[in-house]
Chains A and B, each alone.
Chain A
């Protein structure tokens, strides 16, 4: 059954890097070949474990960037002082192996049967699970109305830009650039605040289902802003990525 993750004891298994794609100068998508992948749901994530030669291990969580039914992939942003992300975004090669555990997550998931309308709000690499949701929406033929608000530092930092553009006739997408904007920019500028939310979010009476993902401070600002707009907290799902994108 597509989209249903089989419930069973979760174990670490070895995955092989099947492909790597550069999304932005600091972001890379890694497609993985996982021998016993049980399938996953849009919005879930997986845990990655790396082991150095001397036995030192590091674990991180990454949202699954692909829709159910597609090959498993994660999109990783290189953090300035990161320990794992520089390795995954710069060093890791096709054919390399790493351990992963997943899929996990039963809260921050979207099914095509969930009633809409849908509001997706992303900060930085928070777009990753939301892109899986958008792909799943397309794959399932769902016509649930969608509004997307995506906050990035600069235009080159917008992840999946072309793909998100391809949804333009099907969803209402708004972009805000917080650091610098190109001269011909027609989108929003500056951080997401209550005024911007009031302008682009669904009116509360439409009872939308909302997914907010990104750095912790971004998620808290947005969630608070939505509640002020009258959104039901129970219909606002949040996933925090920590200081700046990674977990």
Chain B
């Protein structure tokens, strides 16, 4: 299965945050790697969206949509 990058979540992020997020720089809490959200590794077509660190694969952000309400967990960001 091919992974995508954070660009694939641009629409979802814009819906959740009301703003463009793919150009926002984030730092991985696990390994310290810094990258734009657009560069994170994204696993598509899930029950939710998962963005992982390109350097160490740690989970950075998890987004699920439950009955129209978005749940965002920035669990892996420093």
Interface residues of A (CB under 8 A from B): 5, 7-10, 45-47, 61, 101-102, 104-109, 215-217, 237-243, 247
Contact = CB atoms under 8 A, between A and B. Distances in A.
Interface string B1-18: 011111110110111001
A9 B38 contact: no
Given A107-B38, A215-B2, A247-B4, A8 B23 contact: no
B8 A105 contact: no
Most buried by A among B8, B19, B23, B44: B8
Contact of B20 (A9, A104, A215, A241): A104
B36 interface: yes
A216 B10 contact: no
B60 interface: no
A216 B14 contact: no
Q: How large is the interface on B (under 10, 10 to 19, 20 to 34, 35 or more residues)?
A: 20 to 34
Nearest to B39: A238
A159 B24 CA distance: 32
Given A104-B20, A108-B22, A247-B44, A238 B14 contact: no
29 contacts: A7-B20, A9-B15, A9-B18, A47-B11, A61-B8, A102-B11, A104-B13, A104-B14, A104-B20, A105-B20, A105-B22, A105-B38, A106-B10, A107-B7, A107-B22, A107-B23, A107-B37, A107-B39, A108-B7, A108-B38, A217-B2, A238-B39, A240-B3, A240-B4, A240-B7, A242-B2, A242-B4, A243-B2, A247-B44
B21 interface: yes
Contacts of B13: 104
A61 B6 CA distance: 12
Given A9-B15, A101-B14, A106-B23, 19 more contacts: A5-B20, A45-B10, A61-B8, A61-B11, A105-B10, A105-B20, A107-B7, A107-B23, A107-B36, A108-B38, A215-B2, A238-B38, A239-B7, A241-B4, A242-B2, A242-B4, A247-B4, A247-B8, A247-B44
B44 A106 contact: no
Interface string B39-68: 100001000000000000000000000000
Nearest to B34: A234
Contacts of A216: 2-4
A127 to B, nearest CB: 16
A104 B10 contact: yes
Given A7-B18, A8-B18, A242-B44, A104 B5 contact: no
Contacts of B36: 107
Nearest to A243: B2
A106 B21 contact: yes
A247 B11 CA distance: 13
B49 to A, nearest CB: 12
Contacts of B38: 105-108, 237-239
